[in-house]
Amino acid sequence: MYKRILAAVNEFTNSEIAARYATALAKSSQAKLSLVFVAEDKLNRDAFRHAENALERLFMDAQEQDIEVESITEKGSPFEKISDIVRKGRIDIVFTATRREDIEKRYFTKTLAREFMLKLPCSVAMARIVRMARTHPKNILVPLRGQMTHLEERGCFAARLAEVFNASVTLFHLSNPITSFFHGEIHLKPAQRDKRIPRDIEQFTECLYRYQIRHEKKTGYGAVSRSITIEAAHKRNDLIIMGASERTLLRSIVSGNPVEEVLRETPSNLIILKPRLEHL
């Protein structure tokens, strides 16, 4: 699946933690891992040293796990440099960690994360680390909706991570509520909700079967982002993997953006995947 994985590391600890997921995926996929630190011009000496140390620790860790690894340190604009490495090195997926600004700025406007998501020519996994000590997930929550693109890649991404951590997966589907003018929202029992699970999710579960991943399907109701965070908090999921938002800026402003809302309030570590692999 993924042959070349890039993990972007910076002076923040969460990038190091996010890179551990990249390491795990590299091990599972037997892929080459490129650990990249791009120092911005304004970076001070202490931050630089911190990032270098992180890079070194990750490098050693990958080597210990017999992963083919390289460490790259560059200076300049992180997006431009990483973009360059991605193109030249034919990288399949980039792992990056969210920064504070990604959480605070609405709709990610003009953030590095948004640039990575929109402009890199490969898949992007953006991790938000809220629990440093939970990087070896035991149960992964994967919220799904119908009519998703790149189902095979999404399925295999979750399956590979679950495989390497020996984790179970909960596929969580939220159906649109049925409402009527006089009765308001009509309560559906789980059996009725199960019937509304889109068929294309089967393609996702096939991947889980292929990798022999323990998994269960679950349905929920109510506001999408709130239901996902409640489920994760209630079931103590260690990791949430969800697809990147495909909503336009206008639609996000009008009817909200569940991905952004989960990013803000997630009780567990979160990976937002923007899949772009055409051939697995």
Partner 1 sequence: MKIQSLSEAEVLRTLVTSDKGLSHEDAQRRLNEYGLNEIKDVRKKPLYLKLVSQFIHFLAILLWIAAALSFLSDYLHPGESMFTLGFAIIAVIFINAVFTFIQENRAEKAVEALKKMLPFYVKVFRDGNEKEIHAREVVPGDVFLLNEGDKIPADSRLIDASELKVNNAPLTGESEPVLRDPRAFDGELIESANILFAGTTVISGSGKAVAFATGMTTEFGRIAHLTSAVEAGRSPLQKEITRATRLVATIASAVGLTFFVLGFLIGRNFWDNFIFAIGITVALIPEGMLPTMTLSLAMGSQRMAKRKALIKTLTSVETLGAVTVICTDKTGTLTQNKMAVTKLWVNDKIVDVKDLYLYKDKIYELLRIASHCNNARFMDGQYKGEPTEVALLKAVREALGDLKSERIKEIPFDSERKRMTTVNLIEGKVFVFTKGATEGLLPLCSHLLMNGEKAPADEDLRKNVIDASHAMMDMGLRVLSFAFREIESINNISMVKGADIENNMVFAGLIGLEDPPRPEVPEAIKKCTEAGIKVIMITGDGSRTAGSIAREIGLIKGAPVVVEGHGFNQMSDTELRAKLLEKEVIFARMTPKDKMRIVSILKDEGEIVAVTGDGVNDAPALKKADIGIAMGMSGADVAKEASDMILLDDNFATIVNAVEEGRTVYENIRKFITYIFASNIPEAVPYLAYILFKIPLPLTIIQILAVDLGTDMLPALALGAEKPTPGVMKKPPRKLGEKLLDMPVITRAYLFLGPIEAIACMFGFFWVLNNGGWIWGVMLHPNDMLYLQATTACFTAIIITQTANVFACRSSKESVFSIGIFSNRLIFYGIMAELLLQMFIVYHPFGNRIFGTAPLGPDVWLILIPFSILLLAAEELRKVYVRKHEVK
Residues forming the site for partner 1 (CB under 8 A): 11-14, 16, 46-47, 50, 54, 57, 100, 129-136, 138, 181-184, 187, 189-190, 216, 218, 222, 226, 229-230, 233-234, 236, 261, 264-265, 267
What value does the CA radius of gyration of the chain take, rounded to a whole number of Å? 19
Cα 108 to its chain centre, rounded Å, is 15
Nearer to partner 1, 206 or 265 (CB): 265
Nearer to partner 1, 156 or 270 (CB): 270
Q: How far is the CB of 94 from partner 1 (least distance, A)?
A: 20
Nearer to partner 1, 4 or 218 (CB): 218
Q: How far is the CB of 50 from partner 1 (least distance, A)?
A: 7
Q: What DSSP assignment string belongs to 40-64?
A: -TT--HHHHHHHHHHHHHHHHHHHH
Nearer to partner 1, 54 or 159 (CB): 54
Q: How far is the CB of 181 from partner 1 (least distance, A)?
A: 6
Q: How far is the CB of 159 from partner 1 (least distance, A)?
A: 20
Buried b (16+ CB within 10 A) or exposed e, 27-60: bbbebbbbbbbbbeeebeeeebebbbebbeebbe
Distance CA 33, CA 5 (A): 5
Q: How far is the CB of 165 from partner 1 (least distance, A)?
A: 9
Nearer to partner 1, 50 or 276 (CB): 50
Phi-psi region of 66 (alpha: psi -120 to 50; beta: other; left: phi over 0): left
What the block records as the tokens of 236 is: 């103590």
